[in-house]
Amino acid sequence: MSSGLHLSLSSSGVIPLHLQLDCAQGELLALVGPSGSGKTTLLRALAGLYPEVQGVISCAGETWLDSRRAIRRSPQQRQVGMVFQHYALFPHLTVQQNVEMALLQQPLRVRQQAAREMLARVKLSGLEERLPAQLSGGQKQRVALARALVGEPKLLLLDEPFAAVDQQTRYKLRRELAQLRHSLQLPILLVTHDLEEAQQLADQICVLHRGQALQVASPSSLMRAPATPEVAKLLGMQNLFRGELRQLDLSEKRIHLDWQGLPLQWQLTSTQHVAAIEFHRAQLQPGQALQWLAPPASIQLFRDAAAAATALNAFPAIVEESVLLGPHLSLRVRPCHAPDWPLSFYLSQNFLEQEAWQPGETLHLALHPQRLHLFLPANTVDAREITAGERPV
């Protein structure tokens, strides 16, 4: 049996679970998804606190759950470290005593020495005798993390550990966790409402919905190529559209699509892309309706038609909304050829050179042919439903 975490779970409870996941030793896997998607339920199942779950869980070469073989280890036997959103510190115990609570089976001297060493690792030396009420939110979070790690767990579970602190402290704690985690040779699962946090900290991100893992991928792969429109919706992506296939030209690695009368061209960038198209070729016939995504990185902006004339996939659009948000300008535009299908994107203030686009102005866009993302037939749903999707919460 290999090290790391491996699970295949099924449950038909109030929040069902039907998923398979792997998290290697030393890897951080972030769980994102809407409320009720099963994120916290999954953590409870891993910690042994959800007896209704069926399936298999193995970690660090040990079987924690195998319902067919009637194996079900208790929470104590699993050796799981967990950090809760509100830390769950004992208010009447000192920092030192709170950390020692994870080592009650050890002799007093062993507990004290291990707690002091772990508090030093999380930069809390000198605060051992303080009570939780005398700590800042960031310090409480470090105490909770020290308590979770001092017992040398085989799995670390983080349930929105930064949600209860201010933004400045949150950024600082993220950096500290990013540094600390590389010295921890154990799988780490992080539940977060913050997609930016998941992208910064995680090796892999799992998008959960209704107890199912819709996609597991690296942060860059996930944001560049969501597996389905539903995944794109759950990640808060905009600019999901429907077009009609015109031609496949695999010798040139090109796909030609019609978008509301505008010819669009995709340039496939890898042999994997070509292989995927070949696999679905029987379903990809001229006239086939396909959904596609225009990520922000695919959108090129031009001041006038002459500048856009040499670009592929170019078209004029009318600015509908222009909102300055700190260093960025949020733009919503309506293509002249497809006013019912608006695009939304951000521009940096440095790019604008202090000049904002005003509603009613005409600008010219082009969609980079190598940065568009096409959803294959088996992975499509109605685009208008997707555009109104909710962000991970």
Mean pLDDT, range 236-251, rounded to an integer: 91
What single DSSP character describes residue 341?
Answer: S
Residues 199-235: b if buried by 16+ CB within 10 A, e if exposed: bebbebbbbbbebebbbbbebeebbebbbbbbbbbbb
Structure token pair of residue 130: 């303080």
Structure token pair of residue 88: 């769950």
pLDDT for res 350: 63
Whole-structure pTM value? 0.87
When mean pLDDT is compared across 16-25, 184-193, 265-274, 302-311, the lowest value belongs to 265-274
297: confidence class by pLDDT, cuts 50, 70, 90: confident
pLDDT for res 281: 74
198: confidence class by pLDDT, cuts 50, 70, 90: very high
Structure token pair of residue 98: 């709170």
- Between 104 and 2, whose confidence is greater? 104
pLDDT tens sequence across 326-362: 888 889 999 999 999 999 998 876 665 545 678 999 9
Give the domain ranges of the chain: 5-218, 238-392
H or E segment and range at residue 139? helix 137-150
Contact 243, 385 (CB under 8 A): no
pLDDT tens sequence across 298-326: 999 887 888 898 899 999 999 999 888 88
H or E segment and range at residue 221? helix 219-224
pLDDT for res 24: 96
Q: Which CATH number fits domain 5-218: 3.40.50.720, 3.40.50.300, 3.90.1640.30, 3.30.365.10?
A: 3.40.50.300
Mean pLDDT (the chain, rounded): 89
pLDDT for res 389: 32
pLDDT for res 383: 36
pLDDT tens sequence across 166-185: 888 888 889 989 988 888 89
In Å, how far are 115, 304, 390 from 46, measured between CA atoms?
Answer: 25, 57, 27
Contact 204, 229 (CB under 8 A): no
Q: What is the CATH number of domain 238-392?
A: 2.40.50.100
pLDDT tens sequence across 75-88: 999 999 999 888 89
